[in-house]
Structure 1
Amino acid sequence: MAKKNEVRYSCYQCGYVSLSPVGRCPKCGEWGSVEQELISSSAQSERARPMSPQKVLGLKPPRRFSSGIGELDRVLGGGMVEGGVVLLGGQPGIGKSTLLLQVCGNLARSGSKVLYVSGEESASQVALRSSRLGADVEGLEIFCHSDVDGALEVLSDHGVLVVDSVQAMKTGEESGWPGTPTQVRAVAQRCIDVAKSRGIPTVLVGHITKEGRIAGPMLLEHMVDTVLLFSGEESSAYRVLRATKNRYGGTDEVGLFQMEGRGLKAVEDPSGLYWNRGDESVPGVAVTVVMEGSRPLVAEVQALAATTVFPYPKRTARGFSLNKLHLLLAVIQKRCGLSTSGLDVYANVAGGLDLRDPGADLALAMALVSSASDRALPSDCCLLGEVGLVGEIRPVGRTPQRLKEAARLGFKTAVVSAREGEELPPDVKVIRVRSLAEAVASVGLG
């Protein structure tokens, strides 16, 4: 059994524990991530009471219920879960507290008793925001203090618990200041234990580091059931909510919000965010339909190829990886005979969308060819396909659903892979191509 105030050293990146100080973590290889922590007498291990295993047969799944915000329910996999712990991360000022106060107001309005714990703001600040958002309703209670033990003591018949934020809270079970790896881990464990034992849905707010990951030990993300990231451009009113981990659903859904004076509002037509609906054709612009979970989105890919006087042309990509841009430029030069070695190439996805769908490869390649040849693509044409190293066009998933969205928005023609085997909707004229060279010729760029 550990003695009182025994010292150990733990890595806040991976959770590795050592009895002696080290400069570099032997497990994850991170420099300077191993910090000293004290093991107090209250944290000594105790003999657990005997427990017996449970049979899987007959166990009922936890009950789900709506948060009152459809976009959040979509990302969560259908709603909040009894006893489920969600970690919500995002940049300062992105709208995390706004989103959660709106959720708390909706739940309190539907009859649930909600406890909102704030370790960073005063009661008057939280009340002012609640009034602005219309969340100042009966059933919503606030606890503004950094003592998580005191917050959990007042938790009685509440149906939902929100802790904002886990880095601002402190528990007496561990030493150190709020925000240290030891305190963050201990605070999260206290909240998780209460959530699981009482079946209370719990949301923990987490800060984001400059590297874009949730601050604190990486173990924190393994402890919770769901990890959500709230992001958006500083100059834009639009926000994107994604799940990077979800034990109760998938991680491929995305929620889209718009920040307004009275809080966050769901975006009614997501395709309008990433497509300017221009009627005039411009060289270097191609349109595709990508899948964000079960939702099809029309995305506009832009490319600019300009002559350079420098020996090393510049390559810049925004919205997809730079390696993807280099790969497609090599395929275009090898398979289509179009050299871009003397051109600076800039590529962008309009609206700030981050494209991970391989079905956008063809649109990016055609935008590059269009800009390099200074010929515009038809404005009513969308392009769907994955481009291989030998220039072949491969089929993508859910093509009928993508084409239905394209037809709804007025597209008349679609270029797809010749190997596409699904039955496609008749609303759009489909051009089937086997290679990138065929695709270039089919739209008049050859």
Structure 2
Amino acid sequence: MLDKNTLNGFKRNTKNKSKESDRESNKFDDGTQIVGTELCQILIHLYDLHSVKSTEKPIVLSKRKSAIISALTSLLCVSTKAKKFALNDGFLEQIITQLQELHVKLSLESVESIRRASDKKRVCPILNDISCIFKLLTNFMLGNERVKLQAVSLGLADLIHKLWNWINFQQNLLIEVLRMLCTFTTECQIASQSITLTSPVAGVGPRKTPTTMSLLHCILHLIGKEMDLVSRSHDLKILTYSFHLLQNCCQAYECRVLISKSNFFQHLNRLHPAITKQQKPWESIELLWLEFLETLTFHPEGQVSVAKSSDTLELIMALTSSPHEVNKMTALAILRNITFYQANRTRLLSSGEFLQILNSKLSNGSIEEKCTCITIIWSLAANNQKAKLILKTSGLECRLQEVLKQWKLGESSLVPKEQLNNLQYIIEMLREGR
């Protein structure tokens, strides 16, 4: 046994060591931050030196510049102090200005020149420089809203739209740009909004109101084109990044309106089980669409547009029976979101297929599926006497009572108490017609 004095001495020593450790940690952090700033300053200076014309051989100069850009790209990814220094030093304006200069060079060429071997030597180095700048921008904007907002004010989205024909010609460059746009729009509503204000016309700056020929429309068209190219061996990177970008764009009202008013949902017909036969890679593409639709239907614009499209709604209902657990749960979550919009409830309650899905899930579904169905029924029945009558005559009240008995007897430990209380309340609400 330790006596009181020994124990107190031990505590004092532990506290002292802890303080010393904290001081050492702070010294290390401060040192790391200083190094990040100094390294960034040196690399930007070297980048400037290698951006001007030189008497050195182009191959040697290109290799050195490539190494500098790689080092700078890596540093900007991991160091917040480096990002802050680069932003305050005007580095973002510098690289976007360089992008504009490269766009001017490309505007003197025909897009078809990339197919001709004689012109490739002149055009490909420009495209390589553009790719390097996009990689640099991706890491520069990563997790830093200040950089993103500055990029918006400098017209980054509009510049990408003007370069789109060239970007669309090279798959690797297209993937790089999509990755950069995903980073650009992540948790930044203003960046997402800027994608609707672009113009492909040279000499015309960003618009003040959304246009019918914006960069967002290019992304929607790209997804449609990729859907037509899907095969067992087709690379899904472009589709994956494009849908990630669309999910980010759903945070902006302007983007949601443009998506809802477009004919984008017509591409969903390719996902019908009768066409896909539940084969690869359709399982992954199905999930990409469903995750996007779930995000879109969190908002009224998505709830209205998805429910208004008969083919889309029928497909979502069909996918609630998918053999893949994640896919069918996401499809059911979309139906739940749609019921939150009051105007959709009458249409859903008049659908025999929809009511049958609820019956089936409450009878044979997993606990998670049953919880989602309970939320759907609650949303439909709240302050709606006609809905309560339809739900009761469809046998859903009996199904809910069966679920309640099942949960109380055998699965009470697996079901959250809140869900159990919700279920009891809904049964009472349907029974009393409240």
Same fold, TM-score > 0.5, yes or no: no
Between structures 1 and 2, the one with greater strand share: 1
Using CA pairs below 8 Å that are at least 6 residues apart, which structure has the higher relative contact order? 1
Alignment TM-score, normalising by the size of structure 2 = 0.28
Scaled by the length of structure 1, what TM-score is found?
0.28
Structure that is richer in helix per residue: 2
Structure of higher CA gyration radius: 2
